[in-house]
């Protein structure tokens, strides 16, 4: 009878070793099922950590969706979202206004001109018209003292334009649509996207800094969840920018 009991006790150990399961950690000589409770806890903790690492490497993590009303005393998530979407909108408007294969008079409207009295959009200083498909005219009669500044702003607008000044009239030849011009515009679109992402990162950093001010007033979990939420919002906005860039690049390169 005693011999039979000893054989039965050895079965769990044999099964463990035959399946390749690990032994208890540390100096404990017993198999996992026969080890001390501390060994079991250590093993479970190790597996939990390994699972988290695996998820971080390859698996998509669950989205955080915090109710803005519950954290309004810490930060306004709605304002953060609006600020991030404003950056996306500005990029979209820049693409529409300044990065077109065919230049139209409207493309010059919002070029910023630096004058002694401050910054003004070009269409507030001069009358813009299109004399022919290959030539636009900017009449600076109302503000003749800003003619040189307007010509400089057009030249430095990144639109590949080389204005010619004739008194108070600025002639702006429209370049032919060449492959080189298309590639130049696509490069400018990429640069604009990168600048917008820099602005987006500043919005994100400002929001996270605001959240961290409350680290001594709310739980660590709350701070962590808010930071994750803000990061998700920034990632979503950056993804929108990437889609805009892809669409604009396709449009420009044909």
Whether residues 122 and 151 fall in one domain: yes
pLDDT confidence bin for 231, thresholds 50/70/90: very high
Percent share of the chain, pLDDT over 90: 47
Give the count of beta carbons closer than 10 Å to the beta carbon of residue 164: 11
Domain count, the chain: 2
**Which domain covers residue 208, as residue numbers?**
68-99+178-253
More confident residue, 173 or 55: 173
pTM attached to this predicted model? 0.59
pLDDT(111) > 80? yes
The last residue of a domain, from among 173, 206, 227? 173
Three-state SS at 115: strand
pLDDT(52) > 90? no
pLDDT tens column, 127-162: 999 888 889 999 999 999 999 999 999 998 877 789
Whether residues 147 and 109 fall in one domain: yes
The last residue of a domain, from among 149, 173, 197? 173
pLDDT(26) > 80? no
Quote the pLDDT of residue 61. Answer: 59
The last residue of a domain, from among 150, 173, 196? 173
Average predicted confidence (pLDDT) for the chain: 79
Whether residues 90 and 114 fall in one domain: no
CA distances from 226 to 18, 102, 217 (A): 47, 45, 14
Whether residues 245 and 202 fall in one domain: yes
Look at residue 60 and tell me if it is in a domain.
no
**What span, in angstroms and rounded, lies between the C-alpha atoms of 254 and 252?**
6
Non-local (6+) Cβ contacts of 237 within 8 A are 84, 85, 87, 88, 200
Whether residues 198 and 134 fall in one domain: no
Alpha helices in 118-178 (DSSP H): 122-125, 147-155
pLDDT confidence bin for 99, thresholds 50/70/90: confident
Whether residues 133 and 225 fall in one domain: no
Whether residues 91 and 125 fall in one domain: no
pLDDT confidence bin for 124, thresholds 50/70/90: very high
Q: What is the CATH number of the domain that holds 125?
A: 3.30.1360.40
118 φψ region: left (φ > 0), alpha (ψ -120 to 50), beta (else): left
């Amino acid at each position: 009878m005693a011999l039979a009991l000893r054989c039965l006790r050895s079965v769990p150990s044999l099964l463990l070793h035959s399946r390749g399961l690990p032994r208890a950690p540390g100096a404990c000589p017993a198999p996992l099922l026969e080890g001390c409770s501390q060994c079991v806890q250590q093993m479970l903790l190790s597996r939990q950590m390994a699972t988290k690492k695996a998820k971080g490497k390859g698996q998509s993590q669950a989205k955080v969706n915090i109710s803005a009303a519950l954290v309004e005393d810490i930060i306004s998530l709605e304002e953060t979202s609006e600020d991030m979407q404003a950056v996306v909108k500005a990029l979209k408007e820049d693409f529409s206004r300044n990065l077109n294969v065919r230049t139209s008079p409207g493309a010059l409207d919002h070029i910023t001109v630096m004058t002694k009295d401050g910054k003004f959009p070009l269409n507030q200083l001069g009358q813009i018209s299109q004399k022919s498909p290959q030539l636009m005219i900017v009449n600076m009669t109302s503000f003749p003292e800003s003619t040189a500044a307007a010509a400089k702003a057009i030249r430095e607008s990144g639109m590949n334009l080389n204005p010619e000044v004739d008194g108070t009239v600025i002639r702006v030849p429209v370049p032919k649509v060449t492959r080189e011009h298309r590639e130049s515009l696509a490069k400018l679109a990429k640069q604009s996207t990168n600048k917008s992402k820099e602005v987006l990162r500043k919005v994100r950093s400002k929001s996270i800094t605001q959240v961290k001010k409350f680290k001594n007033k709310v739980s660590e979990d709350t701070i962590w969840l808010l930071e994750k939420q803000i990061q998700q919002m920034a990632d979503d906005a950056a993804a929108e920018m990437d889609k805009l860039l892809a669409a604009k690049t396709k449009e420009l390169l044909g």
